[in-house]
Amino acid sequence: MERVSFDLASTPLREVNQFLHKQLQADDQRHFEVLNPDGAHSIAVGLDQPVTVEIHGHAGYYAAGMNKKATVIVHGSAGTGVAENMMSGRVHVKGFASNGAGATSHGGLLVIDGDAGLRCGISLKGGDIVVGGSVGSFSGFMAHAGRMVICGNAGDALGDSLYEAVIYLRGEAKSLGADTRFEPMTDEDRAVVAELLREAGLQHDPASFKRVASARSLYHWNADANQEY
């Protein structure tokens, strides 16, 4: 398969993104490489064809944001908002991810081999996120739908104000957020975790994970119950 390389040391990022937006054919499956990213922001954003883009180095803010169909691999770490608002496809960060990884994602799979910062999966809308390490505070905050698998630990307020998303945690949470609780793992949960770990290339016993889900007491405001947020 044809491989096309872009070197950001000599080619402006705007030209690279414009090519990826305007010069791809329907169902284009070519393989692209981005060299010398040096932390540039918004690399490979808004892709809507099943191409593969490999970023050889560290990416800045919003790498692979709004991804649809494409596979984006970051051979390094990624800044704030990697795979933000992803619709489908796959984004794989080989290093660490900063704050807001996978925010508002509607579909697709985000894999982070290392740790993720604050608010990983905030307002998740249906995508899947697998983190090989730990996550920061308020991860899964107001997650509506989708699944998160965390192989390490979590900071404060994990899953604060969850809706229908489910978080699977292997380590310990410093604290759970409002209206969030641990629930028993079922056979279906273990099957889900096993499949997501397989897709992420990670090997852990699904039985070692705990299920974190909404207690569903904040779905509707009840003025007579003296609810506090």
Q: What is the pLDDT of residues 29-66, one digit of tens each?
A: 999 999 999 999 999 999 999 999 999 999 999 999 99
Structure tokens given for 176: 């759970």
What is the end-to-end Cα distance of the chain in Å, rounded? 54
Per-residue pLDDT of the chain (229 residues; tens, 9 = 90+): 568 999 999 999 999 999 999 998 889 999 999 999 999 999 999 999 999 999 999 999 999 999 999 999 999 999 999 999 999 999 999 999 999 999 999 999 999 999 999 999 999 999 999 999 999 999 999 999 999 999 999 999 999 999 999 999 999 999 999 999 999 999 999 999 999 999 999 999 999 999 999 998 876 666 565 655 5
**Rounded CA gap, 117 and 145, in Å?**
20
25-39 b/e with 16+ CB inside 10 Å = b? eeebebebbbbebee
Q: Can you give the three-state secondary structure of 50-75, one letter per residue?
A: CCEEEEECCECCCCCCCCCCCEEEEC
Which domains are present in the chain? 3-216 (2.160.20.60)
